[in-house]
Every structure is written in C-alpha cells, then in structure tokens.
Structure 1
Amino acid sequence: MAEVGLLAEMLTRYRPSSAVEAADLDRVRALLAAGDDPWSRSTPLHVTVSATIVHRATRRVLLRWHARQQAWLQVGGHADPGETDPLRVLLRESEEETGLSDLTPWPDSSMIHLVIVPVAAGGHEPSHEHADLRFVLQTRTPQAVRPENASAPLRWLSVEQAREATAEANVRETLSRVEHLLEHAPGNTR
C-alpha cells in the first residue's frame, strides 16, 4: 500500500526523544504492520496529522479552539477517503481550518513530534486514540487567517502565550520543540 510505504518511511526517519514517545512510535509501527488502513476512523487507533503554524518574522504560532476538546490546540485532523500522503493531508486540513493558502513545511518536511492521544466519545464516535504525527508549517501572510467557522476561533500567540493557553502537556511539548526550531533557525538574529 502506498500510504503504508509513505508512513513507514516517515516513521523510519523519526527519532523519538523519550521512552514514552518511543513506545508510541512502536504502537504506530504495529498499526502499520497489521495491514489495515492506518487512516481509517473505524479503528480504535488511527493516524492523524497536525501542525503548529508559525510566522517566523514575529515568532508567533497559531492555535485553534477545538470545541469538542474544549482546548486551544494546533490545527490538523483526519485523512479523507483515498488520501495517503501525510503532508498533503496536513496541508489540506491546515488550509481548511485557517484559510491560509501559502502554507509550507518548515524548516523542512520532517515530523517534529509523534504522540498518541486519547479522544473521548462524542457524537456518533466511541472513544478512540489518535496517533498524531506533528509538523511545523510556516506562513508569510498571518493577516490572511480566517477561522473555518465561528466555533473554531484562531489566535496568533507567542510560544509562551500558547503554552499558557493550552492545558495539554503533549501540546506544550510540541510548542517547546517549535520554540527550539525558531531559536536555532538559520538566519535567526537572536
């Protein structure tokens, strides 16, 4: 399967930074090895993608209010049927949720964090888990941001403000990794 090949390659290149993250990586590899569609929302554990969007000139990040989780989180989500490329899914989801049409992977297309997160039952879905592959996208047009709908507002924040806005430890860890990238980016004048 093409999607398993793309995911497997991405996971092979990824280096976890903790024992918990290594265990999550092992679970995602086992999901791929099982041979089922790793993107299928019908399985108790399935792959999702998300991104922290940065505006490098102002060193701000974009967070979205997620009503179901009652939390400020990064943007992203599920693959649509037939989608297999994690980065294409990520770019589509991110543009849909923010209105930003100039998003590009930054500093490259590498995953920066992998985390398995529990998702409470809601609507017609039972409780399940997301194997969330996290990336960084950049925009040069932060003023073009527009929320997908009125119940999903967006906020540009400093990394510190973003950490304070979210109660999710795994999102704080992602933000710390983004902050490190921003601090060590080529051409950084700080």
Structure 2
Amino acid sequence: MSLYDDAVLVLKNYEGQTELRQAYLDHLADHPDGLWKACEAGHITASAMVIDPEQGRVLLTLHGKIRKWLQMGGHCEPADDTLAASALREGTEESGIAGLRLLPGGPVRLDRHHTPCAWHLDVQYAALAPSGAVEAISDESLDLRWFAYDQVADVADESVVRLLEAARARL
C-alpha cells in the first residue's frame, strides 16, 4: 500500500471533525501530490505530541522557523510507508528520544494551519515517551522543553492545547 492509499484509509477511518476530515480527503482527491511539500495548494503533514504520562508532562519544541512552541512534526517523506510512520519518525527526529510509541487508535486530531511554505493539513498523533526518556534538541528547533500539562496553555497556542486535551482523553 502506498503512503497516499494509507492516508486516504486513515482519514476515512478517523472519527470526528467530519468537515475537516472531508476537506483533507477532498484535497487528496484533487491533488495526487497532496502529501508532498512540493504541492503548493497545501500538503498533508504528520505530527506527534510526545507525552510522559508518568510525570504528567509533554515535550514541546520551539520551532526554528515559526518561533512557537509546538508538538514534533512535519512533512511526509518518500520513505514513509504510513502516516503513523511519518509521525513517529518526526517525533523521534525532533525529540531525540528513541523508543517512542504511538497511542493506539490512529490520529487523535486534525489541524489545518498556514505555515511559511503552504497550508499544512496536519494529521496529529500522540506518542508515549519511554520511562526515563532523555530528549536531545534537533537542528530544526530553537529549544526543546518538557512542560507540565497545566503549563501548556501558557506557552502554546490553542491548536497545541486541543491536541493535548485529545491525547489525554485517549490515554
């Protein structure tokens, strides 16, 4: 199965956010290249909120280009077999944490937002950090920091807060 086919299947099986989900599906139907950064009309991205439920905290990155505290995530790559694999790769690369595992049940949210390169139609997962995880900042980040659940609203925008709420509801 191709990444495109996986994305369509994941979105068709995603429950909730009906209108936004359909917008993602329409985008893919209209743009066979809609998973790739080269698609100027926008592209599907995958992200992973890294959570440490044992300590009640979440790892956020201060994004180098956007200059906001965000979850780990970004563009799909040709080597990604699935959206989940893309989210896990991004989470691992940007957090520096080996052994992340995605919460079961597929994505926890969808979020469409404009970035310097185009519209991102983000498929958002949650990833559990292994016990004792130690983060390592990547070249894409200005900073990388753990925040207690109740601190996230003080540093991040509403999209990140909604993702955290959805991820915690899934825990």
TM-score, reference length from structure 2: 0.90
**Inter-partner Cα distance in structure 1 for 2:25 and 2:72:** 24
Partner of residue 8, structure 1: 8
Partner of residue 170, structure 1: 159
Q: Is the 8 A contact 1:50 1:76 kept in 2?
A: yes
Q: Is the 8 A contact 2:52 2:128 kept in 1?
A: yes
Q: Does 1:116 align with 2:105?
A: no
Percent identity over the alignment is: 24
Q: Does 1:22 align with 2:18?
A: yes
Partner of residue 51, structure 1: 48
CA root-mean-square deviation? 1.9
The one-letter amino acid of 1:181's match is: R
Q: Which of 57, 61, 66 matches 1:64?
A: 61
Which secondary structure state, in structure 1, belongs to the residue aligned with residue 142 of structure 2? coil
Q: Does 1:103 align with 2:100?
A: yes
Q: Is the 8 A contact 1:100 1:139 kept in 2?
A: yes
The one-letter amino acid of 1:110's match is: G
**Inter-partner Cα distance in structure 2 for 1:147 and 1:173:** 24
Partner of residue 153, structure 1: 143
Q: Which runs of 5+ in 2 are unaligned?
A: none
**Inter-partner Cα distance in structure 1 for 2:133 and 2:81:** 31
Post-superposition offset of 1:38: 2.2
The one-letter amino acid of 2:150's match is: E
Q: Does 1:73 align with 2:104?
A: no
Partner of residue 169, structure 2: 180
Which secondary structure state, in structure 2, belongs to the residue aligned with residue 58 of structure 1? coil
Partner of residue 87, structure 1: 84
Runs of 4+ in 1 over 6 A off after TM superposition: none
**Inter-partner Cα distance in structure 1 for 2:141 and 2:88:** 21
Once structures 1 and 2 are overlaid, which stretch shifts more, 88-97 or 145-154? 145-154
What are the superposed Cα offsets for residues 43-89 of structure 1, whole Å, 9 maximum, x if unpaired?
22100001111112112111000121111000011112343411111
Once structures 1 and 2 are overlaid, which stretch shifts more, 28-37 or 155-164? 28-37
**Inter-partner Cα distance in structure 2 for 1:109 and 1:180:** 12
